Amino acid sequence: MTAVRPEHEYDPLTDPLPAGGHGSPWLGADNIPQDQAQPQVQVQVQVQPQAQVRGDAYARVAEAAAAPAQEWYAEPAADPGPPLPEPGPVPEPGPGVVPFDDATMALKRIAETPAPPTGGRAERRRAAKARGHRAPAAPAPAEPVVSGRPPTRAEARRAAKARKDSAAVVASRVIGELFITLGVMMLLFVTYQLWWTNIRAHQQAGSEAKKITHDWASGKKAPGAFEPGKGFAIMHIPKLDVVVPVAEGINKHKVLDKGMVGHYGQGSLKTAMPGDRTGNFAVAGHRNTHGEPFRYINRLKPGDLVIVETQQAYYTYAITSTLPSTSPRNVSVLKPVPAGSGFTRPGRYLTLTTCTPEFTSTYRMIVWGKMVDERPRSKGVPDALSG
Distance, in Å, from the CA atom of 338 to the CA atom of 278, rounded to the nearest integer, reads 13
Q: How many structural domains comprise the chain?
A: 2
Instruction: State the pLDDT at residue 157.
Output: 82
Decide if 86 is inside a domain. Answer: no
Q: What is the mean pLDDT of each run of 10 residues along the chain (387 residues)?
A: 51 52 45 50 51 60 60 53 60 51 64 63 76 56 57 83 81 92 91 89 93 87 75 95 96 94 91 95 95 96 96 96 96 95 96 95 96 94 87
Decide if 287 is inside a domain. Answer: yes
What distance, in Å, lies between the first and last C-alpha atoms of the chain?
Answer: 172
Instruction: State the pLDDT at residue 224.
Output: 62
Find out whether the peptide bond into 357 is cis, omega within 30 degrees of 0: yes
Instruction: State the pLDDT at residue 73.
Output: 45
pLDDT (tens digit, 9 = 90+) per residue, 167-201?
Answer: 888 889 899 999 999 999 999 988 888 899 999 99
Instruction: State the pLDDT at residue 54.
Output: 55
What size, in residues, is the chain?
387
Decide if 275 is inside a domain. Answer: yes
Instruction: State the pLDDT at residue 123.
Output: 77
pLDDT (tens digit, 9 = 90+) per residue, 32-67?
Answer: 444 554 555 454 545 555 556 556 666 675 676 665
Instruction: State the pLDDT at residue 104.
Output: 65
Q: Is this structure's pTM higher than 0.75? A: no
**Active-site residue, selected from the candidate residues 286, 290, 295, 348:** 286
**Quick check: 242 and 278 in contact, CB under 8 A?**
no
Decide if 96 is inside a domain. Answer: no
**Quick check: 260 and 231 in contact, CB under 8 A?**
yes
Instruction: State the pLDDT at residue 217.
Output: 87
- Nearest by Cα to 300 from 363, 256, 247, 242: 242
Distance, in Å, from the CA atom of 80 to the CA atom of 62, rounded to the nearest integer, reads 43
Query: Does 377 participate in catalysis according to the annotation?
Result: no
The CATH code of the domain that includes 309 is 2.40.260.10
Print the domain residue range for 19: 1-33+45-58
Decide if 29 is inside a domain. Answer: yes
Instruction: Give percent of the chain above pLDDT 90.
Output: 47
Decide if 142 is inside a domain. Answer: no
Query: Does 286 participate in catalysis according to the annotation?
Result: yes
Decide if 361 is inside a domain. Answer: yes
Query: Does 133 participate in catalysis according to the annotation?
Result: no
Decide if 178 is inside a domain. Answer: no
Instruction: State the pLDDT at residue 168.
Output: 86
Instruction: State the pLDDT at residue 156.
Output: 83
Instruction: State the pLDDT at residue 135.
Output: 52
Instruction: State the pLDDT at residue 298.
Output: 95
